[in-house]
Amino acid sequence: MSATVFVYGSINTDLVVYVTRLPQPGETVIGGRYASYPGGKGANQAVAAAKAGARVRLHGCLGDDLFGRERIAALEKTGVSTAGVQVRAGVASGVAQITVDEQGENTIAVAPGANMSFSPEGIAVEKPAPGETLVSLFQNEIPQEATEQLIIRSHQAGHHVLWNIAPTLSHRPTVESLHAIDYLICNRNELAGLTGAEGDPARAAAIPLGWGVKRVIVTLGREGSILIGPNEELHIDAFRVEAVDTVGAGDCFCGVFAAFLAAGLAEKDALRTASAAAAISATRRGAQPSMPDRAEIEEFLRSRSGS
């Protein structure tokens, strides 16, 4: 598969506790199992895209510490280029504390550390060759101002720009940034946080279109996903699986969608492929370790051809 994806985002270490149920505020749940995994939305999506067959170049920021060195080694082992990863001396690398229950649902608290020191300075955005599709993929775990600068520069260079607004944005993006977005990707809560509109996600998704965004994709968990454009509405069903850990499933969706979009797959087919990959991811523990490779995705789709 000939595809190139540039990812700009966070790199974390996930510290995970698996419990029978999520604790209530002020409650301690005893008996959990602990595990540590590579994580961070930027790194997760980069790994998902790389395992799906894309050439991936990751831009992020780490501290010069043990977690940082471990993350570089793990990313390079998956084939992700880390030449664009900035390393800050005296700053802690990002970590996420995650709790997962028996149904695979989770709560996450993040200490971003070096991620918030990420700078767009000195990053040269490559222009696509004639006939080439380059995709730039963003999230919201590095400074929003840096993200918006790079979104505009990527758009100006001729990239397809995908922005997964997770976690929820702290403030509305600039008009110039919104007009540079080809696909705004979010879940229900993130969409509501951006627009202030509750209820029907299709109706709420129309609001960013009025701001200049070209298309909005809303992920709906077990209900699949929808894509809303000026003259289109697609619904992609979710694949039914026995979920054990949903951490990273959304990142898997974004990374795989970016990879297959860059490869020239039709929009609807790229969404279905991303949905299949996310379903596989939810059946495995951990974020990056759960990401399926291209062969696994294709075999899953063959086995569910009637789904």
Exposed, middle or buried, 89 (CB in 10 Å: 0-12/13-18/19+)?
Answer: exposed
Q: 76: which residues sit within 8 A by CB, 6+ positions away? A: 82
Q: Contact 11/93 with Cβ under 8 angstroms?
A: yes
Q: Which residues are part of the catalytic machinery?
A: 251
